[in-house]
Homo-oligomer: A and B are copies of this chain.
């Protein structure tokens, strides 16, 4: 992917206040100069980046149900996880898929990389497509609890209508899969 970056309307950092450094995210407040010379503050969450996988077995996508503390409830999502320091995103996708579902995959194809919340966070999420999977045994992290199932496109759309699937990465994966089924490309 050729990447073209623009700095139009750049906001120049005058000062950065470090607020918090956690296990996963950190938070800072930047004091910036706007294009019109005025000052403003920007609340910014730093995140190591993450991966997720649209993994299709016999015409069904693999999903996992897990509790999401920020939402106070469980969600059905495609397998995903954050990047370890220095980890290659494709290797991370392969690792997360196997840890959460037990399935091993051959070649992975990058569908898209996207920022989840560019207004306040730098989290970049890499979405991969995997076929040709081999079943095996899941091996979860010690603080990870989840159930795995496999859905047709119609079932997944029904989950979406019911609100059981309601996160950006899984909905993006669903639409990308539909586009692939209808047009042969993502």
Is A152's CB within 8 Å of the partner chain B?
Answer: no
State which of B10, B23, B168, B183 has its C-beta within 8 Å of the C-beta of A182: B183
Is A58's CB within 8 Å of the partner chain B?
Answer: no
Q: Least Cβ distance of A155 to chain B in Å?
A: 14
Residues on B with C-beta less than 8 A from A115 are 68, 70-71, 75, 166-168
Task: Enumerate A153-186 residues with CB–CB distance to B below 8 Å.
Answer: 160-164, 166-169, 171-172, 175-176, 178-179, 182-183
- Whether B9 lies near A146 (C-beta < 8 A) is yes
- From A84-92, A94-102, A117-125, the one touching the partner chain is A117-125
Q: Assuming the A-B contacts A119-B68, A145-B35, are A114 and B9 also in contact, with contact meaning beta carbons closer than 8 angstroms in the complex?
A: no
Q: Least Cβ distance of A76 to chain B in Å?
A: 9
State which of B116, B125, B147, B175 has its C-beta within 8 Å of the C-beta of A179: B175
Is A45's CB within 8 Å of the partner chain B?
Answer: yes
A interface residues, Cβ below 8 angstroms from B: 1-11, 13, 19-20, 22-25, 27, 29-30, 32, 34-36, 38, 40-45, 47, 50, 65-71, 73-75, 77, 80, 82, 112-123, 125, 142-143, 145-147, 160-164, 166-169, 171-172, 175-176, 178-179, 182-183
